[in-house]
Structure 1
C-alpha cells in the first residue's frame, strides 16, 4: 500500500560514463543469481542467499515496492557496451536535505569502475538535480575497495561509527563518509 504521506518515486535513468543506472526489471534475474552466490552481498542486502527464480522475482518486486512506497530509489548498474546488469545502487532519502547511498557490484564485474560511476552519477543527481545538502555513505572498515570508491568519488571521511549496523547477526563498525554540494 502506498502511503498517503509519501508520494511514490519514479526511478530515473541516470547516465554514468561507461555505465547507466536504471530501474530493476525481471530481465535482471541473472544478476540476482550471481549476487546470491556471493559470500558477502546477501549478508548486507535483501538479495536471497539461496537462489531460486521465485526468490529472485520477489527480490526485484521489493525493489519496485521501495520506489512505490516512497522509501527510496533502487537502481541496477548496467554496462553500456553490452547492456549487462553488473551491480546495484540505492539512494535513500533521510529527510532534512540528506540521503544515504549504497552499492554493490557482482564479482564478475568488479574492478571495472561500475561502483565509482554509479556513486558519481547518484551524487551529481542528488546534489544538483534534487538539490540535497548532504549525501552519506557507510562502509565497513575492512572493505578497502568501497573505501577507495567513496574517496575517489569525492566523499570525505568523517569518522568511525562503532557498532553502527547489524550485519550477519552482529553489530559492525562503519566508516561514515559525506559529500556536500561544495565538494563536487
Structure 2
C-alpha cells in the first residue's frame, strides 16, 4: 500500500473544527474515555490512566502509517474539546475506510457527532482515494444509529456477535456505509 494519507490537517465544520491532536489534550481525553457510557462503546479498556490517554493522543496525532486520519473535534469559536473523529482501517487498494467517533458527555445530543463525521468523510473523499466508508456500532447503542442516519449513511445489515465491547460481551453490530457519490446534505452549513 502506498502512503498517500497527508500530514495532519485542520478541517472546518461550521461551528466545529477538526484539528490535529495535541499532547495537551490528554487530560480531557482521559476524562471522556473513562466516562461510563463512553467506556462501554468507545473505549473497551484501552484508556484507564492519564498515561494511557497520552499514548492514545500520540497515536492519533501520527498519521504516518497511512491507515488513520484522526482529529480532535473542537468548538470553532472557543476551542473547547468536544470529541474525536477518525477515518481508520484506511485501505487504499480497496478504496475503503471506517469511521470512529465519540463526544464528551456535555456535547452529546447537540449534533456534534454527525457534523464531525460528515466533515471527516467529506475531507476523506476529497483527499484520499477512498469511495466507501463504513460505520459499525453495537445494536444496543441506538445513538450511533442516529449519528449514521444524520450523517448520510445507508443501513446495510446486521453483523452477528461481531465485536467485544467494554462490557466484555461480543455484541451484534449494525453496519452502515456512505459512498463518495451518495447525495447527502452538507451538515457544516447547518447551525
Is 1:115 the counterpart of 2:113? The answer is yes
> Which segments of 5 or more consecutive residues in structure 2 lack a partner in the other structure?
184-191
Deviation sequence 1:140-161 (CA, Å, 0-9, x none): 1122221111111110000001
The offset of 1:183, in angstroms, is: 1.2
Give distance in 2, aligned partners of 1:58 and 1:126.
Answer: 24
Worse overlay, 163-172 or 138-147: 163-172
Where does residue 135 of structure 1 map in the other structure? 133
Give distance in 1, aligned partners of 2:28 and 2:45.
Answer: 10
Where does residue 68 of structure 1 map in the other structure? 64
Relative contact order (C-alpha < 8 Å, sep 6+): which is higher?
2
TM-score (norm. length: structure 2): 0.83
Where does residue 11 of structure 1 map in the other structure? 8
Query: Structure 1 residues 8 and 150 mapped into 2: Cα distance closer, same or farther (>3 Å)?
Result: closer
Where does residue 77 of structure 1 map in the other structure? 73
Where does residue 123 of structure 2 map in the other structure? 125
Aligned pairs for 1:19-168 within 5 A: 19-43=16-40, 44-45=42-43, 49-52=47-50, 54-65=51-62, 67-92=63-88, 93-95=90-92, 96-168=94-166
> Which segments of 5 or more consecutive residues in structure 1 lack a partner in the other structure?
none
Where does residue 170 of structure 1 map in the other structure? 169
Aligned residues: 179
Worse overlay, 43-52 or 113-122: 43-52
Where does residue 188 of structure 2 map in the other structure? none
Worse overlay, 30-39 or 149-158: 30-39
Worse overlay, 127-136 or 107-116: 127-136
The offset of 1:166, in angstroms, is: 1.9
Give distance in 2, aligned partners of 1:137 and 1:34.
Answer: 24
Deviation sequence 1:30-88 (CA, Å, 0-9, x none): 32132133113334337754333x332222122234x1222211110001121011101
The offset of 1:8, in angstroms, is: 6.7
Query: Structure 1 residues 129 and 63 mapped into 2: Cα distance closer, same or farther (>3 Å)?
Result: closer
Query: Structure 1 residues 166 and 9 mapped into 2: Cα distance closer, same or farther (>3 Å)?
Result: farther
TM-score (norm. length: structure 1): 0.86
